[in-house]
Structure 1
């Protein structure tokens, strides 16, 4: 909405607001802070530079003024350049923007303590890094400076919008907060409901804990189903199409390709299969950092729209050009690398089990996740200032660390605490926003811990499958083809292995790539007669699901479970996987491109640990443990109408209803009759039930 002067206002009132003592005091503090920071940084930098002649304090103070003047002149120009370039250009210019400001100031230094652009450039780079470190130390690791920069960005955007709308611009006071409703949906990737509940009760999440204890929000669990992966969850939450995705990776027999859902070119192919044009974000919504767009009007850092933000994303440009943006994230990221090295070494010295290697690519992922988190929050702040009706943003910090450290280990919980601080930042940005935003926090899945399949059994799953295959599968394949003649040929040449194992956590899809159609048990036994029985009897495999004549059957070491009618022979292999296992497996069998065989690793009966078929100590994708226990934190007065919240499609329908409640969505006619019957379920006090009861932390019990 336009920002205009209220009737009866006066320039005198605006001036009084501008020079009100609290605002003047805040500005004085900011100036003093910046001056002290610059003085300390320049003193340290000049002391570290070899061959720099000593000068007195007065000269250094003069250089502080020089830096301030140069920054006041150059930073607006650099920000304009970063905005104009967009994308990679913004990133490259943003990286050097602060160095340029410092280098120009040092070159113009009247005392000429540094000479030559190479020396000046090195000194400028050193000064910028020292400044970021000093600012972080002064703030004691809080997000205060980041918050101030975000507020400055939002005020600038709203004033610019007011000018474009033709309203009289309020240049002397900040725009008033918006009154129309808006919705922020923040996804904390991989955070299970039990982990979140424990962290809140321990007092480690002050923002979410305050919301729950004060009664403004309620928390409940939701069951993710199979596969318990981010792409499947977001296909359901954003598009209502979870069944289109059988795993994090899968093989498509029609094309002979292995699809990887976080690979941009594959995600771009997958999204049109999910979208019917009526996704969660279609009505002016914004997708930030997600796998798929949800039919958003604006998609930023979304995998299926593989591109960096363009010229219109001022939040991207401001983050890159700000000394409290990219430079801060870079310094924090370097610190994360050293922290990771120390934490990994500590696990090895304590012989902490289970554990996996935490070197290689993961060392780069930790600083990258911090950079992505800060960029995402900056982009969310921009969209709040612009007045986007709904924003959906995925924050991945916890999930990345938990994969390698373990979902409940101290280093993972530290990442969760940092995400809680970011939720506090978004809450404090509310007064600057163009709408009155309500916040919903959810996860796409949880994580389950355990030693890997290779660690526990001394071989990879691929090796185990190879052991149970016939010695000469080519001869068996040809025999099957001759036996089925004169049917249309089923056998074909394939560029991949004849038996392809595609893992996603403790879920694995097995494909017989020489056959165009999905095989049932009779045909699989004809080619590989020992395979199904051998896998079902393997101590590391809890379930082998295969199609038979009367429907899919799940086999375990001591029994089987026919999924269509629930008939059990021997010991029920589904018991360790909870009450939803049969429904999860049945729905998964309807997914496009599901494997000829579906494997789920065994669940430890004592610890509830599962073994990933990948080298991850914290995993998700299959069944067992906490990986299927997602969480949902929502305003307490909003009712849960989707009974049980089973599957991401149910979460999609629930979010649609809340958008309608806010007046941000009009449901299509055909959607009014779609979906399963629902019942109203009000928020209730916190219970120990972990199967989906609504939850609120009561002050009398936890406060």
Structure 2
């Protein structure tokens, strides 16, 4: 049999099989759901019922094939989450339209039931089509192209190329030690990554900057510089503004500053795509990126959304998974309270919704967008999966909840690896993290007061009434999982939250501004001009520095001395003078390992470093720290596993430097790999063909 005829026959058989499954699904739903019927008022035989279902399923399938892609493309300007809801409802509308075409009015359903029936049928038909295409390489390629939405973006498939593309996949918050545990053993938690490591990829640790958080790390990785980024949030005296990394206006400003310092637009400037990140990396194609969230509608890329919602079954699966994740979070939170687990943090409010968004919607949309970029042959793609970081803040880095999230991330990597197999060009898959997570009881829970309350006591000021406290004060309840919260607002097209004033009437005139960034605290004095020196602070508040340095929960302070320059203060009068390396007493930085002095010295030179930078204590045996926010798993300062990130790179690329220190060093390595890929093209990848049976 000729190959063309065999392909046509195989495709016809797949269509008939999908139609049969859809028909059977519709019959079962008609028998089970009271609001859905396929029979006349007098009743019909089972044969007539099956014929009616076949006609309804056929009409519904034709509408999904011919009308659905145009509907989704017309709605790409609405917010991502709203688009997901509209997909669910529009799919039900198409089913009602299909039922109206059934002769003699035998098909009928209420709008709500129609949405449910359409979702179930879409899932059944999509699953059947995927299962039948497993052994057909050509069908798999065509399915991946439809998922990529290439007709909407380029008008034709990308031509085969021998120049490798590169996919950078960031597993937010997954530290080096944690990853080693997840890929170890005979039955690893993350089997896809375990299969890569040691066969096609190498695993390398890298050390973050003092500010071990996504804002600083990803800014440097994508744009080459995180100079003057002392924390996740900080107060700038010269403008009186509060900079918060997950606020779109702040992210845009940070990207502008980094671009000006580095002198180039970013890692993804050449035919790149940025998915789910804080920053664009200079890419033209973006989806769920905070730094460009305020751009005009015509400047936003919707290819990623089309790639996901082009199959209505995706929206249905996501909706069901979203509800299941909500129920899982409520059950896990209730179980933790009933078991009396300690330490724990509050998990109410919007957190269940933010968790479900991060672990389902953001994960699925970003994965589909990356797969679409690969099938479209894009040169460089950088994507961030934030699910683990979000859950670890509330459940701890090694909680039972986080194991499920890591397994889900591994499946995303497997889906992206599958897309690479059907790409028009070879691809290098690079996996990396921006920081790790450190476990520990919160500072307030452990010591009974927040950092702000400790500072006010050291200043001789009365405590701030709890009802007057505003978000942003260290120790008050910060919205943990900040990256996921910011991306969720972008997905909903919510307006930017107005910046919180750093001070307030309840704090009093001239009160210090206290901010938290994981286990890193920042204290600024608005009424002391410039960078307030240790001498000026002591003259104003004689007991403050000693109160802080001698507290059991504080590891060290960074201040600026008029006489000695940047100085690290510890308990009992200990000092580490960073300019000369002179140490008086026990070195306050010794518990934080090698490289701590260099990291702190670099931050001391930032123009917007706070008047007092505070790092919590670290347990030398367990690596536990005490977050100044309401987080069980935290990052942002020094101590524990938060400062050890990972880089998993293909053996085909040159090995990274022996010791990678700082996110800017990682950026240089990634740029080198992009240059290597461009300079060493292989033979163009042939298009996959399907062999006819002999």
User: What is the TM-score with the length of structure 2 in the denominator?
Assistant: 0.82
The equivalent position to 2:276 in structure 1, one of 278, 283, 289, is 289
Within 5 Å, give how 1:216-231 maps onto structure 2: 216-231=200-215
User: Paired residue for 1:186, among 148, 152, 169?
Assistant: 169
Match of 1:557 among 552, 571, 574: 571
Q: Which residue of 2 aligns with 1:208?
A: 193
Contact preservation (8 Å) 2:88, 2:115? no
Query: How far does residue 531 in structure 1 lie from its aligned partner after superposition?
Result: 0.8
CA distance in 2, matches of 1:29, 1:532: 75
Cα pair distance change 1:107/1:239, threshold 3 Å:
same
| Alpha-carbon separation, structure 1, partners of 2:245 and 2:237 | 16
Distance 1:432 1:582, change over 3 A: same
- d(CA) in 1 for partners of 2:307 and 2:390? 26
Contact 1:192 1:626 in 2 (8 A): yes
- Match of residue 349, structure 1, among 333, 338, 349: 338
| Change beyond 3 A, Cα 1:66–1:237 | same
* Structure 1 residues 64 and 323, CA gap change in structure 2 (3 angstroms): farther
1:7-22 map, 5 Å: 15-16=4-5, 18-19=7-8
1:306 equivalenced with 2:289 (yes/no):
no
- Match of 2:252? 268
Residues 1:649 and 2:664 aligned together: yes
Q: Counterparts of 2:619 and 2:149 in 1: how far apart (Å)?
A: 55
Work out the CA distance in 2 between the residues paired with 1:447 and 1:425.
26
State the partner residue of 2:411. 421
Separation in 2, partners of 1:59, 1:311? 50
Distance 1:30 1:134 in 2: 8
Shift of 1:547: 0.7
- Judging changes above 3 Å, is the alpha-carbon distance between structure 1 residues 503 and 517 closer, same or farther for their aligned structure 2 residues? same
* CA 259–529 in structure 1, closer or farther in 2 if over 3 Å, else same: same
Secondary structure of the residue aligned to 1:277 is coil
Contact 2:123 2:313 in 1 (8 A): no
Kept after mapping to 1: 8 A contact 2:23/2:54: yes
For residue 152 of structure 1, the aligned residue among 129, 143, 146 is 143
Q: How many residues align?
A: 620
Q: Does 1:512 find its partner at 2:512?
A: no
Go from structure 1 to structure 2 and tell me whether the alpha carbon gap of 1:409 and 1:32 turns closer, same or farther (over 3 Å shift).
Answer: farther
- Spell out the pairing of 1:208-607 with structure 2 (5 A cutoff): 208-213=193-198, 215-275=199-259, 276-306=263-293, 313-369=302-358, 370-471=360-461, 496=504, 498-548=511-561, 549-558=563-572, 559-607=574-622
Partners of 1:572 and 1:249 lie apart in 2 by 28
* Cα drift, residue 65 of structure 1: 3.2
Q: Is the 8 A contact 1:457 1:540 kept in 2?
A: yes
Q: 1:136 to 1:536 in 2, by over 3 A?
A: farther
Please report how far the alpha carbon of residue 162 of structure 1 lies from its aligned counterpart in structure 2 after TM superposition: 11
Report the RMSD for the aligned CA atoms in angstroms: 3.4
Cα distance in structure 2, aligned partners of 1:150 and 1:394: 25
> Which segment drifts farther, 70-79 or 328-337?
70-79
The one of 101, 112, 116 aligned to 2:94? 101
Mean Cα deviation higher: 609-618 or 425-434: 425-434
Determine the structure 1 residue equivalent to 2:470.
Answer: none
CA distance in 1, matches of 2:659, 2:541: 41
Alignment partners' CA distance in 2, 1:598 and 1:96: 51
Contact preservation (8 Å) 1:158, 1:434:
no
Structure 1 counterpart of 2:478: none
CA shift, 1:42, in A, is 4.1
Q: Give the Cα–Cα distance (whole angstroms) in 2 for the partners of residues 64 and 338 of structure 1.
A: 36
Task: Say whether the 8 Å CA contact 1:552–1:562 is kept in structure 2.
Answer: yes
Matched-pair contact (CA < 8 Å) for 2:202–2:649: yes
Deviation of 1:26 after TM superposition, in Å, equals 5.3
Question: Is the deviation greater in 598-607 or in 330-339?
Answer: 598-607
* Distance in 2 between residues matched to 1:598 and 1:410, nearest whole Å: 34
- Relative distance call for 1:578 and 1:414 in structure 2 (3 A) is same
User: Deviation of residue 131 (structure 1)?
Assistant: 4.9
Matched, 1:79 2:30: no
Alpha-carbon deviations, 1:379-402, whole Å to 9, x = none? 112211222100000011111111
Once the 2 structures are TM-superposed, how far is the Cα of residue 641 of structure 1 from its aligned partner? 4.2
Task: For residues 136-189 of structure 1, give each alpha carbon's deviation from its aligned partner in whole angstroms, at most 9, with x where no partner exists.
Answer: 999999x99xx9999625257687499957xxx9xxxxx886533100000000
CA distance in 2, matches of 1:139, 1:535: 64
Show structure 2 runs of 5+ residues with no match: 464-500, 682-694
Q: Secondary structure at the match of 1:68?
A: helix
Aligned in 2, Cα 1:495/1:641: closer, same or farther, shift over 3 Å? closer
Q: Quote the offset at 1:514 in angstroms.
A: 1.8
| Deviations, residues 532-559 of structure 1 (Å, cap 9, x unaligned) | 1100111111111101122211112132
- 1:208-264 alpha-carbon deviations (Å, 9 max, x no partner): 111124x11111111112100101001110111122311111111121111111111
Name the stretch that deviates more: 311-320 or 497-506: 311-320
Deviation for aligned residue 1:600:
0.7
- Residue 43 of structure 1 contacts residue 60 of structure 1 at CA under 8 Å; is this kept in 2? no
Q: TM-score, normalised by structure 1?
A: 0.81
Q: d(CA) in 1 for partners of 2:353 and 2:565? A: 45
